[in-house]
Amino acid sequence: MNPLNEPPPVALPETGSPLYERLADHYRRVIAAGTLAPGDRMPSVRALMSQHRVSLSTAIQVFRSLEDAGWLQARPRAGYFVRRAPASRLANVAEPEIPSLAEPARYVGLHERISRVIERAQAFPDALNLGGATADAMLYPTQRLQALASRILRRRPTLLTEVGEDGGAIELRQAVAKRALSSGVSVAPDDVLVTSGGVEAVNLALRAVAQPGDTIAVESPAFFGLLQILESLGLRALEIPTSPTTGLSLEALDIASTACPDLKALVVVPNLQNPLGCVMPDARKAELVQLCARRGVALIEDEPYRELVESSEPARPLKAWDRDGGVIYCASLNKVLAPGMRLGWMASGRWQARVRLLKFAQTRHNESLAQLVAAEFIGSGAYDRHLHQLREKLRTQREASADAIGRYFPAGTRLSLPPGGLLLWVALPEGASSDALFEAALPHGIRLAPGSIFSNSDRFRSFIRLSCPAPFDYRIDTALRQLGTLAAELGRSA
């Protein structure tokens, strides 16, 4: 009998904290001491109950708390296991400085730089792509969606040849509205507008609240696609320092919105920010919604990754704290369900009528088949099972890559391991140029995203975004070792 399934009775410290917390602390020490090693199976719930004489609910709370803190991971039908140590050798990415004065807003002029990066990368079509932000097709429910599509086509033979529904198929609007409830967002199907991915949703939101020349606050670093949207709409970007662990700095936003009284909107990714991977704590989410409402700043929430947050409860969007329709919620199914179906949706609060006009005049409605496939999948239990598996796979892939970066990259490299998703934001040692690393890596068959495309400034010139789209294997390990070697060489020559 495995002794780990029957830990010896322990004396818990008699402090004022709840029983489950004291018990969780005990197991943290056991794991940190190596008594339970990464990959080991934890004692079962039943074992915990009998060993520690605690109730079922206390035992479950212990597992939840350890899982939320990243010590354990649940495997379906197999129990809880000790996780790998988080990116052990690497220090966290430094917190940004919050300047006492806001920087000026600037027109975005990034498109050429981004196009050059994309073109260069496409010149190496066989390269290992660690520069994207979407998981491999094999991580999505390919067969199930394909079967659903064929079945729906048989059931609705005129789907491809009849005009679709304005605003989106009612089936999908109902499915996403119902699902949003569990994350604290209450929207009616009529409040939902189906879009061509999250990109169109954010585009429509910005067009609804701002005119060319207006200023929009964004996270810094920000997803380059957002900066391209601002550029395409002739908007100015005001970059707000953003913490790699807790997200957008409310202090900096406060300073900026005072200095820039005609700030029209803030675009923010509160859950698994791209590229940082941070999740804003709930208290800060609530505070942010209030701050924007007070200052009359439209809050555009971009949520491509929320369902990938690894926590026992669904991560909450800012929209859950919205009381006066000031939050435009933009969701996407590209990263969580099916990159090839190009589906997103939005709930536009008080800008709903204007957003509907813009969508109608921009692209009409979406094509119907993908919408019905998504609606049927989301409405079934299969969606939660898929998401659970996807999160587990991404966690394993991310942690293995982080370990490899820790092994291979030069001293001084920093990395904050995010609580979900497939992106790693890596700070190279002082002075290293990520543009140079990007160029040097291509002939070795490796694509990455250089930090220079995530800001209108050159603040992130020493950062790279590495993605973990596929199961970790020898090819990825070799590529990361190669990248580490190149980074070290560039550091020496800098």
Return residues touching a second copy (CB under 8 A): 111, 115, 132, 134, 137-138, 140-143, 145-146, 149-150, 153-154, 157-164, 196-197, 199-200, 203, 207, 211-212, 225, 228-229, 231-234, 338-342, 357-358, 360-370, 373
Query: Shortest distance, CB of residue 262 to a second copy, whole angstroms?
Result: 17
Nearer CB in complex with a second copy: 280/338: 338
Q: Please, what is the minimum distance in Å from the beta carbon of residue 110 to a second copy? A: 11
Q: With b meaning 16 or more CB within 10 Å and e meaning fewer, what string describes 27-57?
A: beebbeeeebeeeeebbebeebbebbebeee
Comparing CB distances to a second copy, the nearer of 52 and 207 is: 207
Q: How far apart are CA 128 and CA 124, in angstroms?
A: 9
Q: How far is the CB of 436 from a second copy (least distance, A)?
A: 26
Could you tell me which residues come within 8 angstroms of residue 108 by beta carbon, excluding any fewer than 6 positions away?
227, 228, 230, 231, 235, 236, 237, 456
What span, in angstroms and rounded, lies between the C-alpha atoms of 310 and 410?
A: 29
CA distance 64 to 58: 10
- For a second copy, the closer CB: 12 or 149: 149
CB nearer a second copy, residue 35 or residue 142: 142
CB of 71 to a second copy, least distance (A): 32
* In the complex, minimum distance from the CB of residue 233 to a second copy, in angstroms, rounded to a whole number: 8
How far apart are alpha carbons 181 and 283 in whole angstroms?
Answer: 20
Nearer Cβ to a second copy (159/488): 159
Q: Which is nearer to a second copy, 275 or 339 (CB)?
A: 339
Q: What count of Cα atoms within 13 Å lies in the side-chain half-sphere of residue 139?
A: 27
Cis peptide before 221 (omega within 30 of 0): yes
> In angstroms, rounded to a whole number, what is the distance separating the alpha carbons of residues 184 and 321?
8
Q: b/e for 440-463, b at 16 or more Cβ within 10 A?
A: bbbeeebbbbbbbbbbbeebbbbb
305's CB contacts (< 8 A; 6+ apart) are 269, 271, 272, 274, 335, 336, 420, 421
Q: How far is the CB of 339 from a second copy (least distance, A)?
A: 5
* Shortest reach from residue 151's CB to a second copy, in Å: 10
